Structure 1
Amino acid sequence: MPNPTRPEDAEMRRGQRLLFVSILFGAMLCFPLLGVFDQEKRVGGLPLLYVYILAMWILIVAVTGYLVRKTD
């Protein structure tokens, strides 16, 4: 017989997921990776570094919104 999950357990898992996401995106926005994208190349007329930072920001907002609204 499966154990029903308690609301406290769901909140703890959500907090752990959000912590993981923040650490992951913190690593993706640190200098070594930013240095990889700091080139003279342009995407749609914008520098590659700006496109990378904007894409990461959009992804952070989307993933965080998904995790906060997701019901277990």
Structure 2
Amino acid sequence: MRTQKGGGPELNLARNWAKWGRPAGGPRVGAVVVWSHHVGMITGRTKDGQWIVKSGNDDGRVREQPRSVAGAVFRVG
């Protein structure tokens, strides 16, 4: 995520992204989505309403896929 949004080494921990930027007020394209142990960026939405999230270190690589964002925090820069 740091390659996309910048930031220092404190942002190597996913949960620290919950303090980055400002609250997004909910999921939306371009928002950073933060779970307790993972972080990604919302890039779109599927026809059935799932959010598409691009994230690194996702099964050992960068992936973009529909994901549940239930219980996540959303931030914008």
Bin the TM-score by the shorter chain.
under 0.3
Could you state the TM-score of these two structures normalised by the residue count of structure 1?
0.25
Structure with more of its chain in helix, by fraction: 1
Could you state the TM-score of these two structures normalised by the residue count of structure 2?
0.24
Structure with more of its chain in strand, by fraction: 2
- Larger CA Rg, structure 1 vs 2: 1
